[in-house]
Structure 1
Amino acid sequence: MIEYSEFVRLSRSSDSDERGHAAHLAALAYLDHDGPADEHAALYAALIGFLDDPSVKVRAALAYGLLHSVQAPRPIIMALLRDSAVISRAILQYSPVLLDADLIGLIGAGDPFTLTAIAQREKLSSRIASALISQGDSALTQRLLRREDVLLDPMLLLDLSRSLGGDATMRGALLSRKDLPAPARLILVQQVTESLRQARIVRGALAPDRLARLLRDGTDTALSAIGETEAVQARGEFVEVLVGSDQLNTRILLHALTTGHVMFFAACLGALSAISRSKVFTLLENGSRASLIALFSRAGLGPEIGRLLVRLVLHARAADLADDVAARHYVVTALTEELIAEYDGDIPHALEEAFAYLSEQNIALARKAARGVMSTFAGIAQGPMSLPQVEELAQLPLPAA
């Protein structure tokens, strides 16, 4: 508690520290006031009087007292906002009294210290975050992307993925966001693929053909995994983007099914055939061969591809393709052998791309399925390895040198 006379003495003191103490006390008293109205009015007048104090320390003490309160008088906060830089930046960063309309005009000025202070506010609306990012400051944009509490417009994230996806640091910040739309995530995955393709250490470690196959397979897996997540959450925009941009082809459909991304596969067929995804999924689970052929035909797939997918669906019903690599290898092997037997080794032109994909997957899946098999067997097996006897060859006499 402090007497009125003592408060007046501190307010009129020649010592700036005492005046600053009075300003801080006045701010706290105003915010916590529950007494007479005339006393509250007197405190408000005192706050206004401290705005004209020649010492920045006094005005800073006033700002510090009001800084975090939503009850702080707006006229005084706006006056402090136009004060010296150290006070103005504190108000910008902490005061909850400021509205988006107050901040937008300041963002347009483009002062880097002002932008940084605004970006550090506890709460930022999507509108303010977008305005800050539009200033084109890379460090500021990355800071905002790292903030999970700041909601960003999906179209803005998509535009940023297109324009900044070539930068690895920015790409990481974008990929870390849970609200990143699926088309943007696919763009970034494609950027990662291209970066790996151009990296000297990668190009030097793998033959060009094998590198191309690995990167293509990785991109296909990422695409179908993204599509599966979107399909599980009943969001159809991703598949619509794929269909609209002609990125959906037979290879993607095969890859989605062989990797166990059945929901994505069903969503693709639903988009292509204009049939609801639930009905497509029911057909995939229980439909007859004839109904499946009709489904694939309605989706615009040729008869050869349709029959191939029917076989793959029937095999997939009895196997866990999502988690079991060995089952996936078995299905792809069986499908490949069936094609060879049916066409007597002369694969028709319409199936060449699909057959090439299955052959690639057969090799890749065989390698994955074989990893660790021998070491596991050696840990449980008893006795020596069964090997054929090798006959010793007679030593050949060599002529004297």
Structure 2
Amino acid sequence: MPPKVFAWFAETPMIALSDFVALTSSRDSEERARAAHLAALCYLDHTGPADEHAALYAVLIGFLDDPSVKVRAALAYGLLHSAHAPRAVVLALLRDSAVIARAIAQYSPALLDADLLPLVPGAPLPMVLALCQRSQISGRLAAALIGSGMREAQLLLLRRTDVPVPAEVLLRLADSEGRDCELRGALLARRDLPPDARLLLVRYAASDLRQARIVRGALHAPRLDRLFRASEDEAIAAIGEKAAAQENAHYASALAAAEQLNTRLLLHALVSGQVLFLAECLAQLAQTPRRKVLNLLETGSRAALQALLAACSVSDPVRGVLVQLIRHARTVDLASDVAGRHYVITVVLEELIAEYDDGIPADLEEAFSYLSEQNVRLAREAARQVMSAFTGPEGQGTAVALPVTDERRLLPAA
């Protein structure tokens, strides 16, 4: 050991110089481990001359060659949580025995992505899990760890909301592993999940739910079809509204590219009050700025709305229905007023029936059928709200007059 290092140790109150020398040269690995740990702490706490610090560095390097795992582990433990640990020593310990390497990989803040990324390919599960538990993980390292394909590591990372995961990685994982219920739940719980990935996972969940025996046996097949179709419309529009609020145009453009922006979806976005999503969809179809579309929806004339919808390649009869809905919707908060929504749809349906007294044309059948479905559903919701008002605390004193029935008109009991 260099003389200056002896002098520095002699001035410290932790241990006498002679005792430290005895520890370093002991045949007992426990004593050498104590010396290695002490040397690591002294290196990190040193504030004296640079040559003494360099001498301590040489002492640490010497302990790397100790044949005992206990000694090298004690050295690692002393340097484990310090960002000022010497990189050469830390990197050497990172390539040491498995138990030492995992501890260094998990805890050492002195390591960079460039040090850790080469470890991921071909790494065993314990090492990958250790990397997943680092206090700070970059998006690049997270992508590599998820790309390892180890399910436990993927779940661990997805449940860490503090770890940024690139959007393309989440989308790729949703596409490949969306059938896995546990992974799907972890993905759906993330706020940074891309909208198109969220929609994909919702569809996977709906498919699995539909195949469940308890669901298939609970409802008649046509009603089950209507229920799932309505639920998918709601999911697409709700995700789209949130994406539009974040000014994310990719979601609507992806739907347009996949030819999923049909009449039914436009009607649903309109009658459910999801105006931002509707504007984004129309902007994509018409290749028009969204701000201009929003202005037309709010204040545009009938002719201007017709021109906008014509640019979206909407058929003439459907354009008329959409224009009527838009004009009626300007006076009602469709997003929260169920009764108002029911009123608007009822008025438009009555106008259609009056206009086409010879029968609804084929071009309008899909729109008419959708509006009729919504009218029934909204009528039920509005009725439940009315009944809850009567049966709630405020309506407890309300009396309902029952009709007087002539007993002679009653049918005999069966």
Q: TM-score range by the shorter chain?
A: over 0.9
1:372-391 matches, cutoff 5 A: 372-378=385-391, 379-380=394-395, 382=397, 384-391=399-406
Partners of 1:116 and 1:381 in 2: CA distance: 60
Instruction: Give the superposition deviation at 1:345.
Output: 5.4
Equivalent position of 1:107 in the other structure? 120
Q: Is the 8 A contact 2:94 2:100 kept in 1?
A: yes
Q: Does 1:158 align with 2:168?
A: no
Partners of 2:357 and 2:65 in 1: CA distance: 96
Q: TM-score, normalised by structure 1?
A: 0.95
Shift of the 396–63 alpha-carbon distance from structure 1 to 2, 3 Å rule, reads closer
Q: Is the 8 A contact 2:390 2:398 kept in 1?
A: no
Q: TM-score, normalised by structure 2?
A: 0.92
Shift of the 395–305 alpha-carbon distance from structure 1 to 2, 3 Å rule, reads closer
Equivalent position of 2:305 in the other structure? 292
Partners of 1:272 and 1:49 in 2: CA distance: 70
Equivalent position of 1:81 in the other structure? 94
Equivalent position of 2:408 in the other structure? 393
Partners of 2:174 and 2:275 in 1: CA distance: 27
Equivalent position of 2:254 in the other structure? 241
**Alignment RMSD (CA, Å):** 1.9
2:193 match: secondary structure: coil
> 1:72-106 deviations in whole A, cap 9, x for unaligned?
11111122122222111101111122222322222
Q: Does 1:325 align with 2:338?
A: yes
2:254 match: secondary structure: helix
Partners of 1:198 and 1:41 in 2: CA distance: 68
1:174-189 matches, cutoff 5 A: 174-189=187-202
Equivalent position of 2:31 in the other structure? 18
Partners of 1:26 and 1:381 in 2: CA distance: 80
Corresponding residue to 1:130 among 130, 137, 143: 143
Corresponding residue to 1:36 among 41, 49, 53: 49
Instruction: Give the superposition deviation at 1:383.
Output: 5.9
Partners of 1:267 and 1:136 in 2: CA distance: 36
How many residue pairs get matched? Answer: 398
Paired letter, 1:257: L
Partners of 2:133 and 2:324 in 1: CA distance: 57
Identify unmatched segments of 5+ residues in structure 1: none
1:219-230 matches, cutoff 5 A: 219-230=232-243
Paired letter, 1:208: A
Shift of the 391–43 alpha-carbon distance from structure 1 to 2, 3 Å rule, reads same
> 1:314-368 deviations in whole A, cap 9, x for unaligned?
1110001001111111111111111111111511111000000001101111111
Corresponding residue to 1:49 among 42, 59, 62: 62
1:109 match: secondary structure: coil
Shift of the 60–110 alpha-carbon distance from structure 1 to 2, 3 Å rule, reads closer
Q: Does 1:213 align with 2:226?
A: yes
Q: Is the 8 A contact 2:241 2:276 kept in 1?
A: yes
Equivalent position of 2:6 in the other structure? none
Partners of 2:410 and 2:346 in 1: CA distance: 45
Paired letter, 2:147: S
Task: Using the TM superposition, name which of 201-210 and 368-377 deviates more.
Answer: 368-377
Shift of the 108–381 alpha-carbon distance from structure 1 to 2, 3 Å rule, reads closer
Partners of 1:67 and 1:149 in 2: CA distance: 22
Instruction: Give the superposition deviation at 1:381.
Output: 6.3
Q: Does 1:145 align with 2:158?
A: yes
Equivalent position of 2:326 in the other structure? 313
Partners of 2:147 and 2:211 in 1: CA distance: 30
Instruction: Give the superposition deviation at 1:68.
Output: 1.2
